[in-house]
Structure 1
Amino acid sequence: MQGFYNNTKPFFIIQSIFLLFIVALTLYANGFTTIPWITLTLFASVLIISWVSMLGGLLLGLGISLSAMFLLGSVLIWNVFFSSVTILSVKEIVIWMIAIGASALISGLLHRWSVTIVNEHKEMVSKFDELVTIDEATGFDNKKRFHLELEEEFKRSIRTNTPFTLLLIQFKYFKEYEKLYGPEEKKHLIKSLSDVLWKQTRISDRKFRVEDDMFATILFNTGEENVQFVLDKIEELLKYHKLANGKKEVTLTLSFGAASFKREMNDYSELIENAKQELEAYMQ
């Protein structure tokens, strides 16, 4: 449903369908009797102007409506001087002139209203995304929160000299796994990983999903001498994964990267860079 409000196209489609419905209803009420060619032409012109205004906006609609009025006036002047047949009465001319202008004005305002709604929705979604910091699939914090938390912990460790370690975990061939087993098995895999991390790390340790296939944990009060034990335990539990249907067990390829806080580091980004280097060099 969110995608419906992210662009103006659905609004214009609905407006066009509504307009055609009004036309069909009018013709039905008229009994589908024979309509004079001039009336039919003007009626079609009004519809076209309305449709163009819905798609292109008020200024474009008004420009075309003025052109239509000029063309209609030219036809009427030609008819006065070169034809003895009156195609429209004065009353009909006034009505059609008003209809042409009103169709452009009303449809153009509808276009502006639709664009305003879509833009307001996009702004609200953007603000909402900034406030939401939880990954729905795992319950972990997201990438934005990861950088905030890591920077805060880095500054705290500089003040207090308290050790902590950043642990990165990445599934190799994650997209291939989804293509092979499907989106439901992908969700099951993510759920299995999150369960392992919740159980094998402390409640105080912060957990994050920083990419679709990459996860991070900040291990508080943990130096590099204690990281390997945590890493080995997590790797042991994640290496073999049973599919959701319970009929098959697969071997997963994972990479791990760990980087512990050191006072000589300039900022928290060095921690991330060091952990990623280990991640790339990791051999399972």
Structure 2
Amino acid sequence: MKRLFSNIYRTYFTLLLTFAGLILFMGYLNGRDAESVMIITLTFVVIGCGILFGILPALVFTLLILFFIGSGMFFTELGHTNSLFSNQTLQDVVIWGVALLFFAISAGNVHERIKTMRHTIDQQKRAIKQFVAIDSTTGFDNAERMRLELSEEMKRAERYKQPFVFILLHMHYSAEFKTLYGEKEMQHLFQQLSMKIRESVRETDKKFRLSEERIGLLLTHTPAENVSIVLEKLKDKLQTHVLLNGREVTLTFHVCHLTSSSDYRTPEQFLEELENEMMMNEL
């Protein structure tokens, strides 16, 4: 956070410096003839290029402008013809060139600082997401927390030879339910699901809200032969749901489960195999 405020302060200072230089430059040109207006317009273009694309594109664009203007003035002098910048002296062009380089660099710095601030904000968002581990609707841990818990449980199972089972529930037509009944009913649904799931498993078992339609259950110290009992309890509890208006609806789920094994070295491998084991039968 301290770094973010430092970047904001530096960006603000750079912008002030850029606009102060721009005001002085416009005062020097006086902006009364068409040439001065064109010079000021090109200067704004360089500043915009620097802010949007960075220092290098702004410098390249500036050098191209100076090259074409210098070439035009050179050939004009050779041919003794009127040029677009006939009222500008060599000194004016040099001053403008230096000013353009200054504006290109300062605007490019603003671009880089904004880019840094965005990166810092993204880092803060990721940190907050990891810190806030609880889903507010169900009270279950989120997907980030699930990976940490699964990793710890895999290590514990390997060390003490204590099996565990992970059950993955995928609710059918979650998006359609939300569209049909609204956000309030969706929250009520998952609040009721979380309550029923707590009644169906042990308090020590870990519960996770993985996404809008998925819930994971980590059954600690549970052999594979006991999973059928838990699935029957879940089936009895979760099949029906009462809406806020008292109407009863039927819910269906895809379900899969996987038992701990030394074949899976990382949570990612375990979850990938769990996805592969997703059975197409309903709960």
- Normalized against structure 1, the TM-score is what? 0.71
| Inter-partner Cα distance in structure 2 for 1:84 and 1:226 | 95
Kindly provide the CA deviation profile for residues 165-184 of structure 1, in whole angstroms up to 9, marking residues without a partner as x: 33332212223323333344
Distance 1:69 1:195, change over 3 A: same
The answer as to whether partners of 2:130 and 2:145 remain within 8 angstroms in 1 is no
Q: What corresponds to 1:101 in structure 2?
A: 101
How is 1:30-69 mapped onto 2 (pairs within 5 angstroms)? 35-69=32-66
The 1:45/1:115 distance shift into structure 2, 3 A limit, reads same
Indicate if the aligned counterparts of 1:259 and 1:275 stay in contact, CA closer than 8 A.
Answer: no
8 Å CA contact 1:49, 1:103 repeated in 2:
yes
Secondary structure of the 1:255 match is: strand
In 2, are the aligned partners of 1:178 and 1:186 still within 8 Å (CA)? yes
Distance 2:226 2:243 in 1: 32
Structure 1 68/237 Cα, relative in aligned 2: closer, same or farther at 3 Å?
Answer: same
Report deviation, 1:258.
4.1
Partner of 1:7: none
Contact 2:133–2:142 (CA under 8 A) maintained in structure 1: yes
Count of matched residue pairs: 257
Which segment is superposed worse, 231-240 or 153-162? 153-162
Matched, 1:73 2:84: no
Residues 80 and 253 of structure 1, relative CA distance in 2, 3 Å threshold: same
SS in 2 for 1:168: strand
TM superposition shift of 1:118: 1.9
- Kept in 2, the 8 Å contact 1:168–1:276? The answer is no
CA displacement at 1:207 relative to structure 2: 0.9
Provide the C-alpha distance between the structure 1 equivalents of 2:55 and 2:161, rounded to a whole number of angstroms. 64
Does the aligned pair in 2 maintain the 1:166–1:275 contact within 8 Å?
no
Render the CA deviation track for 1:28-68: whole Å, top value 9, x for unaligned.
x9xxx983111111111111122222222212211221222
Instruction: Write the distance in 1 (CA, Å) between the matches of 2:118 and 2:148.
Output: 31
1:40-189, aligned counterparts within 5 Å?
40-78=37-75, 80=77, 82-83=80-81, 87-89=87-89, 92-130=92-130, 133-189=133-189
Aligned equivalent of 1:8: none
CA distance in 2 between counterparts of 1:173 and 1:97 reads 63
RMSD across aligned positions (CA) = 3.9
Q: Which amino acid aligns with 1:56?
A: F
**CA distance in structure 1 between the partners assigned to 2:70 and 2:275 by the alignment:** 76
Give the secondary-structure state (helix, strand or coil) at the position aligned to 2:204. Answer: coil
Q: Does the aligned pair in 1 maintain the 2:243–2:249 contact within 8 Å?
A: yes
Give the secondary structure class of the aligned counterpart of 1:282.
strand
Distance 1:63 1:272 in 2: 48
CA distance in 2, matches of 1:163, 1:66: 69
TM-score, normalised via structure 2 length: 0.71
- Distance (Å, rounded) in 2 between the aligned partners of 1:34 and 1:151: 68
Q: Classify 1:192/1:83 alpha carbon distance in 2 versus 1 (closer, same or farther; 3 Å).
A: same
How much identity, in percent, do the aligned residues show? 27
Q: Please tell me the residue identity of whatever aligns with 2:41.
A: A
Ranges in structure 1 where 5+ consecutive residues have no aligned partner: 1-10
Task: State the alpha-carbon separation in 1 of the partners of residues 272 and 45 from structure 2.
Answer: 58
Q: 2:3 matched to which residue of 1?
A: none
Are the structure 2 counterparts of residues 185 and 87 from structure 1 closer, same or farther at C-alpha, using a change threshold of 3 Å? same
Query: Corresponding residue for 1:250?
Result: 249
Q: Check conservation: 1:255, 1:282, Cα contact below 8 A.
A: yes
Q: CA deviation at 1:251?
A: 0.9
